[in-house]
A and B are shown apart, each in its own frame.
Chain A
Amino acid sequence: MTAKRSLLTGVHFLNGDIACAEGAVAAGCRFFAGYPITPATEIAEHLSERMPEFGGIYVQMEDEIASMAAVIGASYAGLKSMTATSGPGFSLMQENIGLAVMTETPCVIVDVMRGGPSTGQPTLPGQGDVMQARWGSHGDYEIIALSPASVQEMFTLTVEAFNLAEKYRVPTMLMGDEIVGHMWEKVLIPSAEDLKIVNRKKPKVSPKEYLPFKPDEDLVPPMACFGEGYRFHATGLTHNEHGYPQTQSAEVHFKLVHRLCDKIRKNADKIVKVEEVMLEDADVVVFAYGIVARSALSAVRKARAEGIKAGLLRPITLWPFPEKQVAKAAKHAKAIVVPEMNCGQMVGEVERRARTTPVDFLSKFGEEPHTPLEILEAIRRNN
């Protein structure tokens, strides 16, 4: 019998939450702090079993505020760290997501979205948290958020989320939904050697010369961890390159906040990923993400069979927003159809980049995502 603590490889039949948990383990995550919440609980349950097998930590905190704080603490102590939650818990995490942004903490936050606001629909899917991912904490900042559309992507994008979090020292969010979380599908897991894993940059200077918040050319500062002898200070206050508070200086604050945004904005071309299907000649472009993109793809194929030049633009990266890709697709399109499981969130971003191209928003939520036929009708209408 093989040791349970080996990484999964090969083909497996998993649900999305478990695939996400396995992705975390494969990415090198060795700390999970969380609080039970539907429909993300299975991630915690699975990691409570898997983490110790790899010498990692599973801790169930008293709430999601504490979970996010513990994740930041563990990351500063040197472990790749994550939490997983759904809307209500995501709201509680926003305070410390801001702290993670300000202290440039690599960490991953999984939000398996359900129907909101408030307690809403715990067991049903939604896409109502995508703007909260971007703007949920106070102040100006940038984060990275990814959108999985399958159980396979619950695995691969979890790995990718860790890589991005470590590379850019930024909280990175995986914005799943109840369907991709609970659905069972085939997942192909590459062997460890074939999996690209990124680890945070370590300082190359002596502790005496080390400035914890002095960025390299990529705008990301190398990161020492507690106990490594660097004896540095980090704070949620506005700080200089020493990490010392300097709350009264406009110059320090302006420079810091701009750098925190710029390290994502100026690297956006490297970060942003989209899936483009039959976009080259598309008259009608469907912009859809997450589980809705699965229906959209089916609708696009059906439209093509009818002779309509339809195409799919699926953002894998929700934030930073794939603005160039949307602008390019909009240029030659008659219309962009945007189905979302909310009252209209990403559609606003699409409209900003589509300029004069009409945007047709399809809102549906409460039980199931848009059917292919519903999207097909919108494609026909806009052709």
Chain B
Amino acid sequence: MAREILQHPLSSYLRTDMMPHIWCPGCGNGIVLNCFVHALDELKVDLNKLVVISGIGCIGRTAGYTNTDSFHTTHGRSIAFATGVKLANPELDIVIVSGDGDLFAIGGNHFIHAARRNIGIKVLCVNNFNYGMTGGQLGPTTPLDAVTTTSPYGNSEHPFNLVHLAAASGAIYVARWTTLHVRRLTQSIKKMMQKEGFCFIEVISPCPEVFGRRNKLKSGLDMMELFKKASVVESFSDPAKADITPDKIVVGEFVDIEKMSYEKLFHEKIAQINEREVEKVS
């Protein structure tokens, strides 16, 4: 008797012909993708009006895995690319799913300017504290003293506090979760999707294969245990005080405000100009 092939209830949100994915055992990327498609499902998002955009890196493959219009840009340029898409067609929902190195090292300039403009782009940043795809080099979020392939004696660079950076740059919604907080993360993604303007969620995610094993966190489970032990849920606490330390990861929402989006302001200007011109003609 032929066995029935079971379909995942959310498989329609994925390009199943792209599976299996490239991610390592113990990686948190699958959890983030799972939360993302659950959020899409609960919101009944029109997949024909959603564009998923990624930069380069492990999580950058997400754009290819979601069953929407999608684009995999050059390293660090997803936000700049997305700015063009959103301005050209403000009706589209734009979600960027990319990594900490992509968004905040090579792409850092684009991030702060997109947040400043308040363009309607939703950024889901998976922070695994290092460059995973290239084999585990230090990045802008690598904790002090962490051992990576390019900090063999321990990291001497101070890392970014991403939620503080996002808030200071002008993001209207800022949250941080770990891959342990799947329900809260899903709710947070839902909230972000419904806002108008530049939004940012940081997800702390395990990378046991190339980061953890050099830092006494050999498995995904070890890393999840750390997240469990260190994370403290706080509601709208000061992002400036949310530096990640070995003992404490403040998670929760940090910013949730309203501000007119750039594309709305710009398109309103276009409408005003053209109304004025029509008056002039008549």
A residues within 8 Å of B by Cβ? Answer: 1-5, 30-31, 33, 52-53, 55, 57, 59, 61-63, 65-67, 69-79, 81, 95-96, 98-99, 103, 226-237, 242, 244-245
A233–B73 CA distance with the chains assembled, in angstroms: 11
Cβ–Cβ < 8 Å partners of A228 in chain B: 48
**Contact between B281 and A3, CB atoms less than 8 A apart:** yes
Residue of B nearest to A227 (CB): B92
The answer to whether B181 has its CB under 8 Å from any CB of chain A is no
**Contacts of A62 on B, CB cut-off 8 Å?**
80, 109-110, 113
Per-residue CB contact flags for chain B residues 39-73 toward chain A (1 = under 8 Å, else 0) read 00000000111010000000001011001111111
Shortest Cβ distance from residue B20 to the other chain A in the assembled complex, whole angstroms: 13
Contact of B72 among A52, A227, A237 (CB under 8 A): A237
A244: B residues at CB distance < 8 A: 15, 17-18, 64
Residue of B nearest to A62 (CB): B113
A213 to B74, CA, bound (A): 18
List of B residues within 8 angstroms of A71 by Cβ: 84
A73's nearest neighbour on chain B, judged by CB, is B84
Q: How many residues of B contact A (CB 8 A)?
A: 43
Whole-angstrom CA separation of A72 from B77 in the bound complex? 11
Q: B232-272 toward A: CB 8 Å interface, digit per residue (1/0)?
A: 00000000000000000000000000000000001001100
Distance (Å) between the CB of A108 and the closest chain B CB? Answer: 14
Query: Assuming the A-B contacts A31-B87, A52-B273, A77-B92, are A69 and B113 also in contact, with contact meaning beta carbons closer than 8 angstroms in the complex?
Result: no
- Asked whether A233 and B84 contact (CB < 8 A) given A3-B280, A62-B109, A95-B74, the answer is no
Report the number of A-B residue pairs with Cβ-Cβ less than 8 Å.
152
Tell whether A69 pairs with B74 under 8 Å between CB atoms, given A53-B274, A62-B113, A244-B18.
yes
Interface contact B92-A52, CB-CB below 8 Å? no
Q: Which residues of A contact B63 (CB under 8 A)?
A: 233, 235
B82 adjacent to chain A (CB < 8 Å)? yes
The distance in angstroms between the C-alpha atoms of A79 and B90, with both chains bound, is 12
Asked if B64 contacts A55 (CB within 8 A), the reply is no
Q: Given A1-B281, A66-B110, A73-B83, are A233 and B71 neighbors across the interface (CB < 8 Å)?
A: yes
Give chain A residues whose Cβ lies under 8 Å from the Cβ of B280. 1, 3-4
Does A227 lie within 8 Å of B49, measured CB to CB?
yes
A-B residue pairs in contact (CB < 8 Å), sample of 10: A5-B277, A59-B87, A62-B109, A66-B109, A70-B83, A73-B71, A77-B88, A226-B85, A235-B71, A236-B72
